[in-house]
Structure 1
Amino acid sequence: MRYRAIIFASIFGLWSQSAAAQTKLGASVYLLCEGEIWTHQDGFGRSKGARGQLTIQIDPQSRALTVTTPLTGKITGDLAVTNEWYSSFPYIVSTKELFGRKVVRLHVSLNRFSANGVLMYELDDGQQFAAFIGDCKPATAKF
């Protein structure tokens, strides 16, 4: 009987360790995104996209997403994770006024299957303009 208890405890201990490992959230992931980075001029009247890259950091443990764009600079927001999407809608702490209009928020949507990424600037009047449209892939440090 004593041996059964030891074997059961050993098996249960291994099972609980593997279950805990499965529910543990991973470390930060960096995504390298390539596509069109949009610039806006004249009160967002004229917009132009140019090929470029940006890096997005996803930290599942702290539920945060960090990205740098030309108009917002480096910005961090709460991360929402579903089976299909990573998304974040961070407010810009120091509201930036450009061309007489204020950029107050950045919308980030990353499809986890297609790797498509879309970032949109939201103005104080609710209008949205593209910040980035392209594809993202896991990045690895080069040095």
Structure 2
Amino acid sequence: MSRDDDALRWDGDEDLDLESSAASDDGARPGASAPLVHEARPRGPLGWIALALALAATAGWIVIVVANPVQQPSLLGLVMYQLGELLAVIAPLLWWWCVDRLAPLARRAPWWIAGLAVTAPWPLVAGVLA
């Protein structure tokens, strides 16, 4: 019987299960991939400063949300407004995390600076400067 015909039959599958369990008991099988290990991503001082600024921006958005309660005429309007507030609060930390995980080390600084400009709590900044 050819190997192609063997693939279409159930005969002998018990033997394969026994062989695979015995190989896993013996340790690493040849050709098996190693378990995934989370490697540490270097951040440096700029990464920690960017994280501190993202936390400050998140705190600023929380201050804005608490200080400016808004009434909406409909339930849908209220839900959508509160969704926008939630996204504004988590945006700085989400931006920092995405840049930390996705951007190469050499290109993180410009992305973190752009994130600071985009997700900054501008209503709070304008209120303080006015």
Q: TM-score, normalised by structure 1?
A: 0.28
Higher strand share: 1
TM-score normalised by length of structure 2? 0.30
In proportion to residue count, which structure has more helix? 2
Answer 1 or 2: higher relative contact order, Cα 8 Å, separation at least 6. 2
Query: Bigger radius of gyration, 1 or 2?
Result: 2
